[in-house]
Every structure is written in structure tokens, then in C-alpha cells.
Amino acid sequence: MLQVRDLQVAFGRGPALVRVLNGVSLSLRSGELCGLVGESGSGKTVLALSILRLLPQDAAIRGSIRLGGEDLLTASAARLRALRGAVVSMILQDPMTALNPLLTVECQVGEPLTYHCGLRGHLRREQVVALLEKVRLPGARQLLHAYPHQLSGGTRQRVAAAAAIAGGARLLIADEPTTALDASTQADFVRLLHRLARETGMAVLFISHDLHLVLELVKRVVVLYAGHILEDGPAADALRSPKHPYTQALAACVPTLERRGERLPTVGGTPADPARLLPGCPFAPRCPEVAPACSMMPPLVEAETGHSVRCWLRLARR
């Protein structure tokens, strides 16, 4: 249902030009649960906002984004508004800032119902209660008139999720929705997303820097680094048999019981700065297996069925 082709996004002009996405291609089938993993600054959020066409006005976008066959880069503002919330929606990272402090829960969850479904008054209220129950909030009816400052972080994120799915979106982008939550609330929220996806049949693009967390939800993982997709394959492989050295490094960072007491490995070096990218593989400066060929950009090649990787070494070994 979603096809992103060779998406390039840059900010600024001339020498201050920063390329954040450098030809990202990504397809999602309806109902598919896909994880998007990457460090800070890898372009995860920019990709999400590109799909919603909510990037700042100074962003230069090239390539194509099609949603259900419709080209989003040429769609009119009115058409985009009709799609947002109704076909594609998003949960933001920080529940403390994502809800409007001056509007009640009923108003904020009910807005998509008003503008996409034309519901008002009593009908809308019942629908809001149903949505709050859908995100497993106890005492939904008492929450209707609550303001965000009266709610806990976990509750707020559930309200934000209810608002995001209220318009019946077929694709939900969850941009690090659990990063600001404490550990036990995190697990609950991931389970909730899983259940919502199953109940509604919507596709979910789950964005996180936490590979371990992503694997609890999704069947497929896309690894983004400095605006390039480095690996795209089944979630089961990402931990057991990662192909790209970067994914291997990420997988090694996941704490396990067998290695208890050992020092937790980290990915060496510092994340790539999109403002100062050298030609060639963006991970080369930090790669333990770097080879002379890495000064040229490797292509993203399907190494096995449904598993692509962007690395010269893996291509040579094939």
C-alpha cells in the first residue's frame, strides 16, 4: 500500500545543504508490520514526516511516495488533509508534548471523527469512548473531560494512539512511541500496538533506535543509516544472522542472559553527520571490516529472497 521510491530529502541551500535522505526505497504491504531502525540523525523521523508531507517548508523532496496508488508528492493540500488521519497517521515520540494542553481528551480524540467521518455530538462521544476502550484505557467515560496535564505519560500516549487511529488509518507510523515511557509501560504499549494492528488490519511502520524492542512487534526490519537503507530483511534474521556489519554491531548491543556480567558491546565511533558525508559507504569510517571497495557506494542487493543488504563484502561472499 505504501511505495517509497528513491526518496531524497535535503534541507538548506548551497554549501549549507544537508542531505538527510539519500535515495530511500521502501514498500509496505497492507497490514504489514515493519520496523525502521537507526541511530539518532539517521533520517527516521524525516522519512516518517515525508510520508505525511509534513516536513518544514524549506525541505527539498525528490523521488516518489505513493500511498494506495496515489502520488503524495503531487497531491493537493486539500487531498493531503483528507488522507492524513484517515489513511495514514502517526504517533509522536513524546506523549508529554504531543497532546494539546488546552483541549479535553474527547476533543482531541474526536477531531478525526468530525473531520473525516462527519460525526458530531452524542454519536461522536460514543465513538470516542469506544476508541479509548480500544487502546485499553480503563474508565474511558471519565477520561472524556480530562485535560492532558491530569494524565500520566503512559495514559497520554494511549490517548495519542486513540487520536491517531480514530480516522481509521490503514498505515500507522509510530515514531519512537515508547522512548519517553518507562520500561514496563514500554512493553505494554508495544503489546497494544500489536493488538491494534491485528484488530484493525492496519500496516504499522514502527520506528525505533532499539532493535530489541522493534523485534517484539514486527516481522521485517529496515535498517537506516545516514539516509541510506543498509539492510532490509526478516526480523528473525536481524538478530540471528544479520548481514550488514552495522546490523551485526546493533544486534551485539542487545543484552542477553548468556552474556550476563560481561561488558555490553557498543557500536564504535560516532554516528555519521549528514552535513559531512564522504562518498562511499556511510558506515565505512566505523566498520570493523572496512575494505578498499568501501570508498564507493555499494548497491542495495537482494542477497536472499526478501532480504536485501548494502555491502560489498556480502556481495562478494554470495
Partner 1 sequence: MVRLMIARAGQLVIYLTCLTVVVFGLTRLSGDPLVLLLPPNATQQDYDQLARRMGLDRPLVEQYVVFARDLLHGDIGRSYKWGVPASRLLLERLPATLELAAAAMGIATVLGMSAGVIAAIRPDSMVDAVFAGLALVGQSIPVFWLGLMLILVFAVKWPVLPVGGRGGLAHLVLPAITLSWYSTAVVSRVTRSSMIDVLHSDYVKLARIKGVPERVVVLRHALRNALVPIVTVSSLEFAILLSGAVVTETVFAWPGVGSLVVEAVLAKDYPVIEAAVLLVSAVFFTVNFFTDLLCNLIDPRLAAGRTP
- Contact residues: partner 1, CB under 8 A: 52, 54, 77, 81-86, 89-90, 92, 94, 97-103, 108, 111-112, 115-116, 147, 149-150, 160, 163-164, 166-167
Residue 133 pairs in a beta bridge with none
Output 106 or 111, the one with its CB closest to partner 1: 111
Q: How far is the CB of 82 from partner 1 (least distance, A)?
A: 7
Helix (H, G, I), strand (E, B) or coil at 107: helix
Q: Residue-wise over 148-174: b if at least 16 C-beta within 10 A, else e?
A: beebeebbbbbbbbbbbbbbebbbbbb
Q: How far is the CB of 56 from partner 1 (least distance, A)?
A: 9
Output 149 or 259, the one with its CB closest to partner 1: 149
Q: How far is the CB of 195 from partner 1 (least distance, A)?
A: 21
Q: How far is the CB of 148 from partner 1 (least distance, A)?
A: 9
Q: How many residues does the chain have?
A: 318
Q: How far is the CB of 262 from partner 1 (least distance, A)?
A: 39
Sheet holding 2-11, edge to edge: 18-28, 2-11, 59-67, 70-71
Report whether 206 contacts 179 (CB < 8 A). no
Output 91 or 250, the one with its CB closest to partner 1: 91
Report whether 74 contacts 63 (CB < 8 A). no
Kindly state the DSSP code that residue 153 receives in the 8-state scheme. H
Report whether 229 contacts 222 (CB < 8 A). yes
Output 167 or 282, the one with its CB closest to partner 1: 167
Kindly state the DSSP code that residue 268 receives in the 8-state scheme. -
Output 131 or 311, the one with its CB closest to partner 1: 131
Q: Is 299 exposed, middle or buried (0-12, 13-18, 19+ CB in 10 A)?
A: exposed
Kindly give the interhelix angle for 153-165 and 105-117, rounded to the nearest 10 degrees: 10
Output 27 or 97, the one with its CB closest to partner 1: 97
Output 58 or 258, the one with its CB closest to partner 1: 58
Q: Using CA atoms, how far apart are residues 206 and 217, in angstroms rounded to an integer?
A: 8
Residue 62 pairs in a beta bridge with 8
Q: How far is the CB of 94 from partner 1 (least distance, A)?
A: 6
Q: Which H/E stretch holds residue 308? A: strand 307-309
Q: How far is the CB of 162 from partner 1 (least distance, A)?
A: 11
Output 100 or 256, the one with its CB closest to partner 1: 100
Q: How far is the CB of 168 from partner 1 (least distance, A)?
A: 11
